């Protein structure tokens, strides 16, 4: 079975290289010696992902390009917000989609344990080796097998600022943590609150922590802490928390003080910066752009970004993102995954709005706006040091539940930023409980 699929995919690649002179012959030959132009004609592939609206439209363009090239018919199914709840019953019912896009790496492990995933073919793996750092390959792997490929990224190492507020204060975007604190002080002196924090949405605090930690402790420690190989009581965590405490600990740095911040959900904090113009900066990912535009700000003019300042030796780049996996042993599924993992597919996608590629061979020039181009460049220049959102790698009881684990402990830290030691103890206790399960 495996061999046959491989042969077919090889045929597809040859066909693509031959620029499709022939037409009509749809039977892919098992030997691969006489490649057809559209080797997948007549095949139907179903792909399930959570994207809707603009994101779905952009993705559809990629699927159209793939259909054009391969002749296969691809149908898109929307999973809604809760991908697990959509896929679970379909897997149990024996009728999964050919390809699914999972929002968390944790699901890769979960479905691999249920034997619901098919290992990627060597062609797909070749694409991954060519276009991604080994870190991403291991992220899509479970139990020693490669199952998934990261197809779409969210850039989480950003600080959004309101340019007029910085101009009023006469300060510049920061490149180091100390500069950031100095800018914040200047902005505060000018009468504008520097930061709007979404303390009620715990994941915004974990994102902040991950950036500071990746920067101060480096990628190796980041990986260890992600897997709970070093405890949360480690001195490297102390350093990161103390840095964060420089912001959390100052009443005039946070809009509404810590009590106000803890009542603020995402994306309200972005609205506070760009809509109500009460604060100057919000520390969150690229998707703040949506809220900024809704609040009437122009991205690139008054809504600007600075890469997350270096708090230590590493310039942090933390990504979130979606991982595509095959749920059926079909030649179409592998062909589609190979296309999505390729620089070719990524470039088609990149020309459409609302997409950022983790693929290092997708040129930043493909992106339609300068902002995304800038983000793509930070990913490429960070190279091997790029890391995935740590809280999404943790068991969800620790890294993904309201009022529990890391979310709660960092919220408590925001409430009482002096208690670094106590925060670490609580984090370690919760982590130990979550990893034991």
Partner 1 sequence: MTERLDGPQTPRGGDDVARGASPGPDETTETKGEVTTHPALDDDVATGESGALPQLATGGPASPKARYGGSGNLGPAPKVAVFFLLPAVVLLGAWVVYPIVYSIIRSLYDANGGTFVGADNYAAIFSDSGTLTTIRNNLIWVVLAPSLVTALGLIFAVLTERIRWATAFKLVVFMPMAVSLLASGVIFRLVYEQDPDKGVANAVITSVHDLFASSSGYPGARPRENDQAPALVDKGAVVTRQAAQAGQPVLIPLVGMKPEALPSGAAAARSAPEAPGELSGTVWLDFTPGGGTANKIDGNEKGLPEVTVEAVSGGAVKATTTTAADGSFHFTGLPQGSYQVRLPQSNFTQPFSGVTWLGPTLITPAIIGAFIWVWAGFAMVLIAAGLSAIPRDALEAARIDGATEWQVFRSITIPLLSPVLLVVLVTMIINTLKVFDLVFVIAPGSVQPQANVIALEMWRVSFGGGGNQGLGSALAIFLLVLVLPFMAINIRRFRREQA
Where on the chain is the footprint of partner 1 (CB under 8 A)?
Answer: 167-170, 185, 188-192, 199-202, 252, 256, 259-260, 262-265, 395-397, 400-404, 407-408, 411, 414-415, 437
Find where tokens 């999505």 sit.
Answer: 340
- Minimum distance, C-beta of residue 396 to partner 1, in the bound complex (Å): 4
- Minimum distance, C-beta of residue 403 to partner 1, in the bound complex (Å): 3
Q: Which is nearer to partner 1, 104 or 314 (CB)?
A: 104
User: Dmax of the chain from CA atoms?
Assistant: 73
Q: Which is nearer to partner 1, 98 or 406 (CB)?
A: 406
Q: Which is nearer to partner 1, 224 or 408 (CB)?
A: 408
Q: Please give the angle made by the CA atoms of 34, 36 and 38, to the nearest 5 degrees.
A: 165
Q: Are 375 and 356 in contact (CB under 8 A)?
A: yes
Q: Rounded to an integer, what distance in angstroms lies between the CA atom of residue 129 and that of residue 77?
A: 29
Q: Which is nearer to partner 1, 21 or 170 (CB)?
A: 170
Q: Which is nearer to partner 1, 90 or 278 (CB)?
A: 278
Query: HSE (CB half, 13 Å, CA atoms) of 195?
Result: 30
- Minimum distance, C-beta of residue 94 to partner 1, in the bound complex (Å): 21
> What tokens does 107 get?
């699901």
Q: Are 57 and 78 in contact (CB under 8 A)?
A: no
Q: Which is nearer to partner 1, 64 or 167 (CB)?
A: 167
Strands of 111-207 (E only): list them. Answer: 141-142, 145-146, 148-155, 158-162, 193-195
Q: Which is nearer to partner 1, 61 or 404 (CB)?
A: 404
The DSSP call for residue 297 is P
Q: Which is nearer to partner 1, 260 or 353 (CB)?
A: 260
Q: Rounded to an integer, what distance in angstroms lies between the CA atom of residue 66 and that of residue 149?
A: 17
- Minimum distance, C-beta of residue 263 to partner 1, in the bound complex (Å): 5
The DSSP call for residue 253 is G
Residues in contact with 236: Cβ distance below 8 Å, sequence separation at least 6, in sequence order: 213, 216, 217, 221, 225, 230
Q: Which is nearer to partner 1, 67 or 401 (CB)?
A: 401
Which residue blocks in 249-342 are alpha helix, DSSP H?
257-262, 268-274, 288-294, 331-341
Distance of CA 84 to the CA centre of its chain: 17
- Minimum distance, C-beta of residue 172 to partner 1, in the bound complex (Å): 10
- Minimum distance, C-beta of residue 111 to partner 1, in the bound complex (Å): 14
- Minimum distance, C-beta of residue 92 to partner 1, in the bound complex (Å): 14
- Minimum distance, C-beta of residue 273 to partner 1, in the bound complex (Å): 15
What separation in angstroms does the CA of 298 have from each of 274, 295, 301, 317? 9, 9, 5, 24
Q: Give 242-246 contacts, CB < 8 A, sequence gap 24+.
A: 242/420, 243/177, 243/212, 243/216, 243/311, 244/208, 244/209, 244/212, 244/413, 244/417, 245/413, 245/417, 245/418, 245/420, 246/181
Q: Are 274 and 302 in contact (CB under 8 A)?
A: yes
Q: Which is nearer to partner 1, 165 or 225 (CB)?
A: 165
- Minimum distance, C-beta of residue 412 to partner 1, in the bound complex (Å): 9
- Minimum distance, C-beta of residue 116 to partner 1, in the bound complex (Å): 16
């Amino acid at each position: 079975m495996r061999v046959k699929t491989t042969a077919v995919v090889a045929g597809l690649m040859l066909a693509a290289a031959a620029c499709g002179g022939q037409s009509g012959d749809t039977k892919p030959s098992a030997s691969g010696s006489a490649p057809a132009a559209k080797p997948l004609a007549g095949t139907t592939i179903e792909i399930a992902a959570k994207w809707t609206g603009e994101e779905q439209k952009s993705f559809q363009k990629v699927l159209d390009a793939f259909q054009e090239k391969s002749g296969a018919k691809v149908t898109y199914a929307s999973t809604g917000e809760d991908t697990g709840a959509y896929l679970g019953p379909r897997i149990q019912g024996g009728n999964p989609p050919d390809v699914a896009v999972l929002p968390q790496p944790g699901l890769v492990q979960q479905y691999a344990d249920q034997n619901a995933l098919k290992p990627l073919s060597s062609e797909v793996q070749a694409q991954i080796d060519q276009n991604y750092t080994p870190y991403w390959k291991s992220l899509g792997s479970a139990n020693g097998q490669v199952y998934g490929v990261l197809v779409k990224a969210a850039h989480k190492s950003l600080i959004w600022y309101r340019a007029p507020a910085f101009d009023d204060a006469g300060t510049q975007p920061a490149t180091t943590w100390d500069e950031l604190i100095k800018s914040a002080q200047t902005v505060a002196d000018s009468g504008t609150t520097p930061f709007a924090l979404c303390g009620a949405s715990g994941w915004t605090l974990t994102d902040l922590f991950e950036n500071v930690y990746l920067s101060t402790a480096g990628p190796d420690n980041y990986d260890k802490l992600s897997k709970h190989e070093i405890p949360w009581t480690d001195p490297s965590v102390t350093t990161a928390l103390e840095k964060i405490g420089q912001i959390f600990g100052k009443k005039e740095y946070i809009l509404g003080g810590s009590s106000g911040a803890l009542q603020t959900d995402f994306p309200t904090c972005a609205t506070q910066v760009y809509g109500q113009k009460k604060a100057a900066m919000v520390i969150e990912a690229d998707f703040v752009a949506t809220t900024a535009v809704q609040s009437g700000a122009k991205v690139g003019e008054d809504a600007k970004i600075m890469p997350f300042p270096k708090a230590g030796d590493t310039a942090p780049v933390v990504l979130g993102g979606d991982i595509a996996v095959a749920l059926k042993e079909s030649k179409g599924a592998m062909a589609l995954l190979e296309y999505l993992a390729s620089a070719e597919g990524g470039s088609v996608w990149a020309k459409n709005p609302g997409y950022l590629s983790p693929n290092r061979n997708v040129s930043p020039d493909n992106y339609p706006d300068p902002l995304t181009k800038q983000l793509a460049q930070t990913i490429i220049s960070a190279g091997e040091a790029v890391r995935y959102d740590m809280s999404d790698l943790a068991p969800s009881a620790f890294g993904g539940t309201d009022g529990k684990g890391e979310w709660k402990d960092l919220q408590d830290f925001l409430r009482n930023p002096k208690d670094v030691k106590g925060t670490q103890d609580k984090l370690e206790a919760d982590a130990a409980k979550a990893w034991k399960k």
